[in-house]
Homo-oligomer: A and B are copies of this chain.
Amino acid sequence: MKKNRWYNWKEKLHDVIFESTTPEGKLFDIVLIIAIICSCLLVMAESIESLREKYGTIMSYAEWLFVASFSIEYVLRVISSKRRLKYITSFFGIIDLLATLPVLISFFVPSANYLVIVRIFRLLRLFRVLKMFRYVDEARFLLKALRASRPKVIVFLLVIFSIITIVGSLMYVIEGPENGFSSIPESMYWAIVTISTVGYGDISPQTGIGKFFASALMIVAYGILAVPTGIISYELAQSAKTATKKTCTNCGNAYSDMPAYCSKCGNKLNE
């Protein structure tokens, strides 16, 4: 009998922590989201020197409070989860652990504690909590298109990487260390800054021939920039075309739009 009670206790805890159907579960999720946002803002505030000087002690107490709460929450999640190993090795399980770990590491490596900002990923639970299934669908749609475009993107990245290496070396030979291109890796960094059209201007070609090659690279970058965009537009259109939005329960006919009746057997389709 006692074991059953214990089981119920664990079951209850699971519902509160992992589900958001019960009022307690909903409240828990809302409190958690507020805590995550506050703790992230706290980490950001801690990094601003003027604020750290004034409110340093309070901030560090608050941080320890968050670390303690999140640690307890993590332990409770592990205890109450139905498939413990699966939770621990899942994306959210690792993020939940990383949300507290860096502070403990910061005893040894100072300033590592800022990495607790990784807890911002915990906000992705927001989707589930707010029942934003439509948004989850859209995210899935985007991910599907991105996944479908992976082979094209890998081919594209290999070509880009080759171009960056060649251009980086060429510019190192042309411009040399005296014009800021101090080594091939440095030149490759310049090539990436240029080809992505970021263009900080911390390194820029000084000689005429260097400027000529840089111009050629920019014109090429123009066309190159267009390729991933074209790929993604195309894959979005493709995955929209093949997306099954409704299936007839009678004859199994799949529809990519949302008709009211099955056009094959006249069966009324559910929403």
Contacts and interface: CB of A to CB of B under 8 A. Distances in A.
Interface in A189-247: 189, 192-194, 196-202, 204, 208, 211-212, 214-215, 218-219, 221-223, 225-238, 240
A47 B117 contact: no
Contacts of A117: 165-166, 168-169, 184
A177 B44 CA distance: 14
Contacts of A235: 230
A155 interface: yes
A16 to B, nearest CB: 25
A141 B135 contact: no
Interface string A128-161: 0000001100110110011000011111111010
Nearest to A218: B196
A162 B237 contact: no
A121 interface: yes
> Is the contact region of chain A dominated by helix, strand, or loop, or is it mixed?
helix
Contacts of A153: 223
A13 interface: no
A154 B176 CA distance: 33
A192 B169 contact: no
Interface string A80-108: 00000000000000000000000000000
A121 B162 CA distance: 7
A108 to B, nearest CB: 14
Given A192-B218, A222-B225, A230-B235, 9 more contacts: A138-B155, A141-B152, A142-B231, A145-B230, A153-B223, A185-B208, A226-B233, A227-B232, A230-B236
